[in-house]
Amino acid sequence: MPVNYYIFLSLALFCIGIVGVLTRRNAIIIFMCIELMLNAVNLMLVAFSKMHHLKNAAINASAGSEGQVFVFFIMVVAAAEVSVGLAIIVMMYRNIHSVDINFLNRLKH
Amino acid sequence: MNALILLTILGVVMMFSGVVLKRNAAIRTLAVTGLLLAIIANVMDTYGIHFFNINIRGMMNFDRFALLFITIILSCTFIFFLLSAKDMEKVGINFADYFALIFFILCGIILTSSFSSLLILFLGIEIISIPLYILTGSDKRNLKSNEASLKYFLLGAFSTGLMLMGITMFYGYTGTFSVENLVIVEGMPSALLIAGIILLMFSMSFKVSAAPFHFWTPDVYDGAPTVFTSFMATIVKAAGFIAFIRLFYLSFDSLGDSWKLLIAIITALTLFIGNITAVFQQSVKRMLAYSSIAQAGFMMMAVLALNGPAMEGILLYIIAYNLSTIGLFAILIKMKDYTFEGFNGFAKRQPALARAAVIFLLSLAGIPLTAGFLGKFYMLKAVVQQGGYLWLVIMAVVMAAVSVYYYFRVIQAMYFKEGEAQSLEVSLFFKWTISIVAFLVILLGVYPQIIFKWYYF
């Protein structure tokens, strides 16, 4: 399959993520949309990695492998972010018994 | 490399020191000593003595600029520890953990200031951000702190997503993550690369709180415990700028036509919004948050120019801004009332602190004979040399004049208004340290060569 299909798919997923972050009001759902953005990036990286491998395999047998290594780093960092982010959401839930971000207006004067 | 490995070990040591050491003073001493060792190790690194021989080729590049910046940032953290480490006790019971998180943030700063692969840039930014989310929310019972933490987390993660998309597009075009020796292939449509650069620019603007991506800054800085606001607004922001400059200097400089105008617009907006909104603030803490946006506008000029004076000037600017803001926040932390009225009659009660605060405020406003003036001067010089953006220079000068108003409001309250000043508990050590920091601000304003000699020796 041409790489364009993957690029369009992952761009579509990325845009769904952005729209979700900007329009939804539930902290957990916003968080899911952010994860969707990260996974769209992962998909695109793997597609590009394959593309570069096919293009340069004759010169360099390991061409394009960096892209796949990057995906692992994104997964690790995303996991670290989830652990901190969910802890923050739980902390807020304990105090106000809601995860709706419309409650977040105490700092606006 | 020395400082990076030492700080990682120190972070882990600090994590467990909370279990072993029972007294807060012992933990504090351990942290300060450790940081001092890291500074010494980094200076030795600058002179060619490496403790560790690890092959990091293609991932990081510890050049002169990066090493000097790391020394500067570690020294600023050292001053921050001396002035404000005691006040971290008031935030919560996990005293040792705050130090551990700060050491991990410093590791991230070292990564972002010496990367030559986008992978390291991404890891560095994340290693800075994740502990900061925790520090922002460390006042667990306080709703404002919770709110600031959640806001910072959601927007920070969002901007990380944008950055990753930018990196991916860059990779799709070039086939490598290395930012050095970017090869522009002729004839291929470079829309992918331009989109990548713009996404990277937006996400970095988020991190350094440049308008129109600044909206999280006042809320987060206001809600976070004041000790950590001081850290975030100075040291972390400086690291963001170094990463920004390094990224654009190393790889995208040749593509200047496609992004310079956008950066100029972002700079102008940041200067305008930061300064104008700061005028209307009633709380000094919130005023300092907007002032940090306004100062970010000046530092953005270095990203625009990317020439010799810009590289020298950004270092000077970072030192001037960091010392002044850390000093001001250190005084602010001791106060109970953060409004301008809280400063009424301050000079009579605390003459030594008031004198130091005046010097810091003059430096932030950019009055001659202080380091802040020279920093602003170098920024303007860099943009004039770059050419073509005279309107931005004029606007920056006008905005610097506006900033005098809100900085001088504090001086006016301290010296010329009668009021019942709050009684502060200030040790003699604190008074001496803050006076020395104020002296440094003046010294660098008169002899900036001290820094540049390090850069060019």
- B21-35: pLDDT as tens digits: 888 899 999 999 999
Work out the number of other CB atoms within 10 angstroms of the CB of residue B321: 27
Q: What is the mean pLDDT of residues A84-100?
A: 91
| Separation in Å, CA B299 to CA B215, B241, B368 | 18, 7, 18
* Interface confidence (ipTM) of the complex: 0.95
CA-CA-CA-CA torsion sign (B277, B282, B286, B287): positive
pLDDT in tens, B222-259: 999 999 999 999 999 999 999 999 999 988 877 777 88
Per DSSP, the three-state class of A80 is: helix
Determine the structural domain holding residue A70 and report its residue range: 3-100
Domain annotation covers residue A109: no
**Cα–Cα distance, B351 to B431 (Å, whole number):** 10
Chain A hits for B140, Cβ within 8 Å: 91
Indicate yes or no: CB of B157 within 8 angstroms of CB of A17: no
The separation between CA B389 and the C-alpha centre of its own chain, rounded to angstroms, equals 25
- In chain B, the number of structural domains is 1
pLDDT at B420 over 80: no
Q: Is the pLDDT of residue B178 over 60?
A: yes
User: Is A41 inside a domain boundary?
Assistant: yes
What is the token pair recorded at B77?
Answer: 């953290």
* Average pLDDT estimate for B347-367: 92
Q: Is the Cβ–Cβ distance between B426 and B353 less than 8 Å?
A: yes
Q: Calculate how close chain A gets to B206, using CA atoms only, in Å.
A: 15
Query: Cβ of B151 and A104 within 8 Å?
Result: yes
Alpha helix segments (H runs only) across B175-307: 191-208, 216-223, 226-231, 237-247, 256-279, 284-305
**Residue B238's closest CA among B71, B453, B443?**
B71
* C-beta separation of B42 from B3 below 8 A: yes
Per-residue pLDDT band for B1 (boundaries 50, 70, 90) equals confident
Of B157, B175, B282, nearest to A81 by CB-CB distance is B157
More confident: B184 or B282: B282
The answer, as to whether pTM is greater than 0.90, is yes
Minimum-distance CB partner of B172 among A48, A85, A95:
A48
Q: Which residue has the tokens 């340290």?
A: B433
The single residue listed with the structure tokens 């400089």 is B253
Is residue A107 domain-resident?
no
Work out the pLDDT band at B183, boundaries 50, 70, 90.
Answer: low
Look at residue B91 and give its three-state secondary structure: coil
Residue A31 lies in a domain: yes
- pLDDT of B139 above 80: yes
The whole domain housing B431 covers 2-456
Locate the chain B residue with the closest alpha carbon to A92.
B146
Query: In the structure encoding, which two tokens stand for residue B58, read together?
Result: 């293609």
Which residues of chain B neighbour A34 with C-beta distances below 8 Å?
A: 154, 157-158, 161
Total count of domains within chain A: 1
Contact residues on chain A for B157, CB-CB shorter than 8 A: 31, 34, 81, 85
User: Looking at residues B256-276, what average pLDDT do you find?
Assistant: 91
Query: Does B147 contact A38 at a Cβ distance shorter than 8 Å?
Result: no
Indicate yes or no: CB of A106 within 8 angstroms of CB of B175.
no
Could you tell me how many helices (H) and strands (E) chain A has, helices first? 3, 0
Nearest chain B residue to A43 by CA: give it: B168
Q: Given an 8 Å threshold on Cβ–Cβ distance, is A74 in contact with B164?
A: yes
- Under 8 Å between Cβ of B221 and B285: yes
Structural domain includes residue A55: yes
**DSSP helix/strand/coil, B345:** coil
Q: What CATH number is given to the structural domain containing A62?
A: 1.10.287.3510
Q: What is the pLDDT of residue A7?
A: 92
Inside any domain, residue A105: no
pLDDT confidence bin for B198, thresholds 50/70/90: very high
Here the tokens at position B96 are 């040792």
Q: CA of B169, closest CA in chain A: separation in Å?
A: 9
